[in-house]
Structure 1
Amino acid sequence: MNLRDETSEVLEAAGVPLGEEAHIISGVKEGPRYDSSYPAKKIDSYENLILLCPTHHRLIDKRGGMGYTADSLRSMKVAHEADQRAGKTDSQRRREEADLRVLAMVEIWAEKSGLNDWDSFTGSLNAPIPRIQATTLDALVSESEWLTTRKWPQAYPAIRRAFRNYAWNLVDVVTHIRSSMDLVDGREEIYEMYREHKHRLMTEAEYRKSSELFHFNTDVLYELSFELTKAANFVCDAVRFELDPLFRLEEGVVPLRVGDGLFGNKVLAEEYSAEEVERDMPYVGLSEVKERVKSHGGASR
């Protein structure tokens, strides 16, 4: 396989990044070159990643990777890295390795956050009666903990800032869900926005207070999912700006879904305004979000 074909060299000279991360050994049982004996913790490690152009990425994975063994890909990687080292400074080589490792971390985040299923995730939170699968809530907690332990290199200030902003927003989403939702009676796998007036008899005043609290918590959750969607898009923009201009180019913006799926259902492309981006952190925090809901008498849109 020629990792330096003529087309790639022309595009590279024009400043167009062509690299896609490919796994030498797949972490999925049905994936290319899957090996059950390969340690799971090494699946996304540097030693198991190879940088290829999109065409070659598809080629090596064709027919389950039958045409390219793990050993042959490792040999290609070693030869290509040796070729690259021959004409580059130590500083350039370190930066390329850093780029690859940071991009690997970004891809792990994209998987953990469920970017490819974001519209379904936000749709469940923005339904008339918000719900979330217990497994999804567990995944949010796991993602939040993972982000807490990440140390993004200072050489990528936009990415560092975007992930700090997103992580803060995510913590608030988890906090609000835990404080306002409860397991559905008889179903241990689904959380639903709590409605006290559905669980006991109440006076008219108590019922009104309970209903107001339900609508307030529902509106806050909508605002938080709205903010988290903007934060996710902000991360993607930062990655495209500092690391890979083609990151999630085909998928486009991370979508926010609103509606009950029956009488109304729409997808919104939400991103920070120029004014929000100019702030130290575009996201304003849970307290400010709650004040926004109070001042508007409900969700802002």
Structure 2
Amino acid sequence: MTASYATPPGGLPPQTALMTGRAIFTEAYCVIPRGCFSDIVTSRLPGWSGTRMWLIARPMSGFAETFSQYVMEVAPGGGSRAPEPEAEAEGVIFVTGGRIRLSIGADIHDLGPGGYAYLPPGTAWQLANETDSTAHFHWIRKLYEPAPGLAAPSPVVTSDAAVPPVAMPDTDGRWATTRFVDPEDPAHDMHVNIVTFEPGGTIPFEETHVMEHGLYVLEGKAVYRLNRDWVEVEAGDFMWLRAFCPQACYAAGPGRFRYLLYKDANRHARLRGVGAFGR
């Protein structure tokens, strides 16, 4: 089946539109519907040309602590020769529209829709749109947490089409996960995966766990359990879940339901500093 990936609609709703929508921010989760991705909430980034972005997640005291997520829009000729200002930051890029040229050291990669790249901390990388069409991609950033005896991971460049999804046990393939890096490798302290539900697929219990999540709906629609609420979501919506927020899902169809999922992983709980009670 050919993959499709939602991109922000941009623009601005007409003055005749109803202002009531599905956006919600609670103590446990946030939903940013696709209709909120208008021109007036974009930002520019230092060191980037021909580029604007929707900043949809950032560390906030008392809510999510570990990551930021940008939806990037790069015009023809735009990009950056020095995109990452934090030497300790790792990143993931996932392309949803157009094409980009990603340079990692001396290696050059042309990535189209579904293209994925993991960028370790300290990596020298550059990004350019050398086509005649606008490019869209997600850029997820996290400060890498070193662990004793583990070297930081190496760069990974692949694509949605190149990585077979792995079905969850006892689901008859209705629920599957595309894992771009080895989930058994403890050097990785975050995972960015694609989760796919065929019509009728479910998360059949309320997951409650320490990993916080960012979920951008790439395709389809479903109802998602977030804390005490069932929320309808569709392609282009974003969900942001703090640690231990109960979650479940039911994908009724008519087509498959897919989302890009961020989670932190494979590290001890912090007892001091941000997100902890010790000092």
Q: TM-score, normalised by structure 1?
A: 0.22
Q: TM-score, normalised by structure 2?
A: 0.23
Greater fraction strand: 2
Structure number, greater radius of gyration = 1
Greater fraction helix: 1
